[in-house]
Amino acid sequence: MTGPPKHRRRGPRKGAPHTAGSQSAGSQSAGRPPAGAKAPRGGPGAAETAPAPARDLTGAPIRPERGAYFLYGFHAVRAALANEARRIGRCWATRAAAERLADALAARDVAPRAADRAVLDALLGAEAVHQGAVIEVWPLDDPGLETLAAAAPGGARFLLLDQITDPHNVGAILRTAAVFGAQAVCLQARNAPPETAVLAKSASGALDHTPLVRIGNLARALDLLKDAGFWVVGLDGEAERTLADLPRAEKLAIVLGAEGEGLRRLTRERCDLLVRIPMAAGPIGSLNVSNAAAVALYAALPDPGD
């Protein structure tokens, strides 16, 4: 194959989603109690009193500045420090973590504030695996799909996510993309997780290496990539062709659908090719979407001679 189709031929309509079900968590905030409701224990204003902030070992309160968030975990913190495009604020670290990060902190002229694990647990929640390091960061600027597509080299690999909402999955896909050399991970501006500490921790530093691009309309984004010379390939569990049929010498935009739903009809129709991951016969017939991304990117590695 020498290049993607130049016309807007629609891909196969037939196909079912490839991935399995997932779960994602939301949050809910409490508002004012209704009129006439009994005041909560602790006084008339107790329901609206914010919890006391965590404090570092100097007694200073630990709260993020406006627009910032607390990123945590050794690899995520080191990658953020190494990324000159990343705006960095304050840092809290245990003595051991500060010693491990000493070179990266010095390179950004960041002096960590002393904090023990109990302080960091109180700040982030006991379930957060912070590894003794927390840093205040602001979300990265979006590089823009058009800019990245125009600069994409031959054999480029872009991943596009069709309504994948779990930040753990998005983070894991970013990590996979970084491992296999993909140039971008794209997801919708709506119905997709924002940049958060959970997403960054799941990416294990890849958020600061692989661009995460927000797109307004997936169908238009796929047309833009076709115009830039990409083959658009959708992963579909019922496709007749398999990953062995990928045109690996070409620039590829690989589209993954939401777990349990797969690619939407309009997305499938925009694909030049639908492929499936061949699987052994057995009781489990599907993969988590981040695992499916890893298999697809491995299969899409260009031949050494290309």
10 Å Cβ neighbour count for 168? 19
Give the Cβ contact number of residue 285 at 10 Å.
11
Q: What is the mean pLDDT of the chain?
A: 84
pLDDT of 33 over the 60 cut: no
Please report the pLDDT score of residue 5 as a whole number: 53
With 50 as the cut, is the pLDDT of residue 109 above it? yes
Q: Read off the pTM.
A: 0.79
Q: Does residue 29 register a pLDDT over 70? A: no
pLDDT band for position 238 (cuts 50, 70, 90) = confident
For residues 66, 68, 72, 75, the Cα torsion angle rounded to the nearest 10 degrees is -160
- Give 280: exposed, middle or buried? Use CB within 10 Å, 0-12, 13-18, 19+: exposed
pLDDT at 58: 76
**Element spanning 139, H or E:** none
Which residues have a Cβ under 8 Å from the Cβ of 83 and sit 6 or more positions away?
Answer: 140, 208, 209
Within 47-194, strands assigned E span 69-72, 88-93, 113-114, 133-137, 157-162, 184-188
Q: How far apart are CA 222 and CA 253, in angstroms?
A: 8
pLDDT tens-digit readout, 69-101: 999 999 999 999 999 999 999 999 999 999 999
What are the structural domains of the chain?
60-137 (3.30.1330.30), 145-299 (3.40.1280.10)
